[in-house]
Amino acid sequence: MDKMTLTDEELILAFQNGDRDAFNHLVNRYKDKLTNFLYRFTYDIDSAQDLAQDTLLKVYINKDSYKQIAKFSTWIYTIASNLAKTELRKIKRRKTFTISDLSTDDREFVIHRSDEDSFENEEDNSVSGKILEKCLDELDNEFKNIIILRDIQELSYDEISKILQIPLGTVKSRINRGRFKLKDLLKQKGVTLY
Amino acid sequence: MNCNYKDKIISYIENDLTKQEMAEFESELEKNSELQLEFNEMKATLNSFKNLPKIETSSDFIVNLNNRIDEYESSKIKIFNNVFGRILNYNYLPQISIGAVTLIFLLAINYFGFTNFDTNSNTLLSNSSEVVNTDDSEVADADSLDVTE
């Protein structure tokens, strides 16, 4: 049987029945998607890859806790999203610790992510990936997560509602508000939107 | 600008409006320059996601993942060996043997003891029913005596 044609749900079922090759197919399908998703939280390729591996390892270890009632993508993104939240908390704690450890003079030299690169050198004012990343990073987490899931990972509203465990109506309104906030941020950075 | 129309910009882009709502929105869009601006800006914002750099995993991603899976599998075997290895360690063998024999002995007593008790209790029960029967027959006899009287 050609595994390329199987759905994610059929592959995880085969893996639950002991087919290790089915797991390898799932890894190939999700490794880039997960790394891209996690990169939007960490902004570090290495830690995004580590988290993607953590996610896939959790799938391997807890394969039997997946039930066929849910979509596989919902399950795997829920795992990844939880890992991302934990990682963000760790990064926040680390940042607080490092900065509070510095003397007042040293603190003046701390470069914030948004100040790292100036937009003045950009060749044109259209939305570059870099600017968009920075604006996304400036959004509140509740909007950031949901926009990443919808507009970058292209998941359905229903899937997002299940992953974030919030009602469908809240998902829709939060996505709308988040997009308008993002648009305003882009405009504040001097980006011409056309 | 009418807030209702602003709220409908995304629904319109995502084809999430009814036919009538769509027609209303389009006619408003034609005459409302402020709405046009908002609409175009939102479309550009959504299109900008295509400009995000795609991150690809490194070539050793799968190798590293498989190493971690192997580590997990071998740690599972280690835990199993640690638990059962300690139990089956020669140092504990006499204690384990004595424990096993005692357990078998207790189980045997338990089994045979209760079996005997059951047999005894059955005998006791059958005897008591005989006694009851005897009593009944005596009562019957007494009644019959009364009748004849």
CB pairs < 8 Å spanning A and B: 76
- Mean pLDDT score of chain B: 77
Report CA torsion sign: A118, A188, A172, B50.
negative
Model-level ipTM above the cut of 0.85: no
- Asked if A183 and B52 come within 8 Å (Cβ–Cβ), the reply is no
Is B72's Cβ below 8 Å from some Cβ in A? yes
Assigned token pair, B105: 């002995």
Q: How far apart are CA A74 and CA A142, in angstroms?
A: 18
Give yes or no for residue B1 having a pLDDT over 80. no
CB contact under 8 A, B55 and A193: no
Query: Which of B10, B51, B58 comes nearest A128 by C-beta?
Result: B51
**pLDDT winner (highest mean) among A63-72, B74-83, B105-114, B128-137:** A63-72
Assess whether pLDDT exceeds 50 at residue B27. yes
Q: Does A36 sit within 8 Å of B45, measured CB to CB?
A: no
A36, A55, A174, best to mutate vs chain B, most B CBs in 10 Å: A36
Tokens 């024999």 -> residue? B101
pLDDT digits over A147-166, tens only?
999 999 999 999 999 999 99
> Can you tell me the mean pLDDT for A12-37?
95
Comparing CB atoms, the residue among B7, B42, B51 nearest residue A129 is B51
pLDDT band at A99 (very low <50, low <70, confident <90, very high): low
pLDDT at res. B62: 94
A180 CB neighbours in chain B (<8 A) are 42
pLDDT higher than threshold 60 for residue A180 = yes
pLDDT at residue A122, as a whole number: 45
3-state helix, strand, coil in chain B (%, to 5): 85, 0, 15
Query: Which pLDDT band holds residue A1 (cuts at 50, 70, 90)?
Result: low
Q: Are B56 and A39 in contact (CB under 8 A)?
A: no
Whether the Cβ atoms of residue A73 and residue A162 lie closer than 8 Å to each other: no
CA-CA distance, A175 to A182, in Å (whole number)?
10
The answer to whether residue B138 scores a pLDDT higher than 70 is no
Q: What is the rounded distance in angstroms from the CA atom of residue A146 to the CA atom of residue A161?
A: 9
Which residues from A are below 8 Å from B55, CB to CB?
32, 35-36, 39, 45, 48
